[in-house]
Amino acid sequence: MMGYRQMHQLCCDVWKLYQKFFQQDLELFADAADKIAEKYKHDPVAEKMILAVAEELERSDTH
Comparing 6 with 60, the larger pLDDT belongs to 6
Compute the distance between CA of residue 60 and CA of residue 63 in angstroms, rounded to an integer: 5
For the cut 70, the answer to whether the pLDDT of residue 63 exceeds it is no
Compute the distance between CA of residue 32 and CA of residue 15 in angstroms, rounded to an integer: 12
- Predicted local distance difference test score (pLDDT) of residue 24: 81
pLDDT in tens, 8-61: 999 999 999 999 998 787 788 999 999 999 999 999 999 999 999 999 998 887
Q: What pTM does this model have?
A: 0.84
